[in-house]
Amino acid sequence: MKKTTRKKFLSLIAAVVTTAILVTGCSSAANSSSASPAANASASSAVSQSTAKTKIAIATGGAPKPFTYVNDQNQLEGYDIEVVKAIFEKLPQYEISFEKTEFTSIFAGLDSDRYQIGANNFGMNDARKAKYIYSAPIFKNQFVIAVKSDRTDINKFSDLLGKATEVSAGLNYALALERYNKDHTDNPAKLTYTKADLASVLQHVENGQFDFQLIDAAMLEQYIKEYKLKIKAITLSEEDMKLIGSQYSYLLISKGKISEQLAKDVDTSLAERIKDGTVSKISQKYFGSDYAPK
């Protein structure tokens, strides 16, 4: 009887242990299964965050053509626009969008970091350097004076004193003439501020309403061809060009939270696009010549 009782007792213990193991195993599996959705969600969120793109708003005034303009399909086009797109093709960590706005509103938007980049054939001047980050140059050109074809009295910057022109507030050409006038108050250039498009401004030079227009050589050549204007370009000397500023144009970058890294990324990608010939191709497309910085 004792042996039989002992065997029954051992069998009972074995059964209890086996049941406990099975229950524990099932519980662990259930816990593992119930935890996996949260774990998966956490992992998914981590992946999503690591691949999230930084949004970059790019402002342009939509003029002057062919640097920036609205085409027949109501889409922004132009040299600056395509160069920016080419730059960000190499920067997948960013998602860009363009916004057309008033020229002066570009600066207000950069000041508030509503826009991270301004693309509008921007020259360099001290006032802007104090407020914004300049990209590396995106365009190189020659400054010229546009005059009526039969004029012979304007051949250099000093000949502009006492002459009349139209200017757009804030543009480098306007700023250069304003500075020059401060040093020549006895006979300043006569400045009329306007929001007229460049074609109209050049036509006013052609018909004698105004004496001259400061302009980029490449842009003037395009307008003469497109509008069959009877005006000519007076090439400025290196010394006279310094009165206007740098021969290059740039992108302006706001001084926001990501500005330093953004500027580095833009310059790195721009250098690659200049080296591989992309910027030269864009220049040929819009100007028929290569104005890519070297």
Q: Is 6 exposed, middle or buried (0-12, 13-18, 19+ CB in 10 A)?
A: exposed
User: Strands 213-216 and 143-148, how do they pair?
Assistant: antiparallel
Predicted confidence (pLDDT) at residue 42 exceeds the cutoff of 50 = no
CA-angle at 197, arms to 196 and 201, nearest 5°: 75
Q: 154-174 pLDDT, tens per residue?
A: 999 999 999 999 999 988 899
Please tell me the predicted confidence (pLDDT) of residue 141. 85
Predicted confidence (pLDDT) at residue 40 exceeds the cutoff of 90 = no
Beta-strand ranges (E) seen in the chain are 54-60, 69-70, 76-77, 94-100, 117-122, 133-134, 139-140, 143-148, 164-167, 190-193, 213-216, 231-235, 248-253
- Model confidence at 23, pLDDT cuts 50, 70, 90, reads very low
Predicted confidence (pLDDT) at residue 24 exceeds the cutoff of 50 = no
Please check whether residue 4 is in contact with residue 11, taking contact to mean a CB–CB distance below 8 angstroms.
no
Tokens of residue 126, six digits: 């001290």
Q: Is 39 exposed, middle or buried (0-12, 13-18, 19+ CB in 10 A)?
A: exposed
> Is the CATH number 3.40.1350.10 carried by domain 54-140+248-287?
no
When mean pLDDT is compared across 46-50, 232-236, 257-261, 290-294, the lowest value belongs to 46-50
Please tell me the predicted confidence (pLDDT) of residue 41. 44
How many Cα atoms are found within 13 Å in the side-chain-facing hemisphere of 225?
11
Q: 194-216 pLDDT, tens per residue?
A: 999 999 999 999 999 999 999 99
Please tell me the predicted confidence (pLDDT) of residue 106. 97
Q: 125-158 pLDDT, tens per residue?
A: 888 999 999 999 999 988 999 999 999 999 999 9
Please tell me the predicted confidence (pLDDT) of residue 170. 86
Please tell me the predicted confidence (pLDDT) of residue 177. 98
Please check whether residue 109 is in contact with residue 60, taking contact to mean a CB–CB distance below 8 angstroms.
no
Q: Tell me which CATH code domain 143-244 carries.
A: 3.40.190.10
CA–CA distance, 102 with 266 (Å, rounded to integer): 24
Q: Tell me the Ramachandran region of residue 162: left when phi exceeds 0, alpha when psi lies from -120 to 50, beta otherwise.
A: left
Delimiting residues of CATH 3.40.190.10 domain(s) in the chain:
54-140+248-287, 143-244
- Model confidence at 51, pLDDT cuts 50, 70, 90, reads confident
Please tell me the predicted confidence (pLDDT) of residue 25. 46
Please check whether residue 245 is in contact with residue 125, taking contact to mean a CB–CB distance below 8 angstroms.
yes
Please tell me the predicted confidence (pLDDT) of residue 45. 41
Q: What phi, psi does 50 have (nearest 5°)?
A: -70, -25
Find where tokens 């395009």 sit.
Answer: 222
Q: Is 149 exposed, middle or buried (0-12, 13-18, 19+ CB in 10 A)?
A: exposed
First to last CA, the chain: 105
Tokens of residue 45, six digits: 């969120």
User: Strands 117-122 and 248-253, how do they pair?
Assistant: antiparallel
Q: 227-272 pLDDT, tens per residue?
A: 999 999 999 999 999 999 889 999 999 999 999 999 999 999 999 9
Please tell me the predicted confidence (pLDDT) of residue 27. 44
Give the mean model confidence (pLDDT) for residues 28-48: 43
- Model confidence at 293, pLDDT cuts 50, 70, 90, reads very high
Please tell me the predicted confidence (pLDDT) of residue 154. 98
Please tell me the predicted confidence (pLDDT) of residue 26. 41
Q: How far is CA 292 from CA 30, 63, 249, in A?
A: 65, 20, 10
Predicted confidence (pLDDT) at residue 102 exceeds the cutoff of 80 = yes
Please tell me the predicted confidence (pLDDT) of residue 56. 98
CA nearest to 256, candidates 104, 54, 82: 54
User: Strands 94-100 and 54-60, how do they pair?
Assistant: parallel
User: Strands 69-70 and 76-77, how do they pair?
Assistant: antiparallel
- Model confidence at 8, pLDDT cuts 50, 70, 90, reads very low
Please check whether residue 219 is in contact with residue 198, taking contact to mean a CB–CB distance below 8 angstroms.
yes
Please tell me the predicted confidence (pLDDT) of residue 46. 41
The pTM of the full predicted model, rounded to 2 decimals, is 0.74
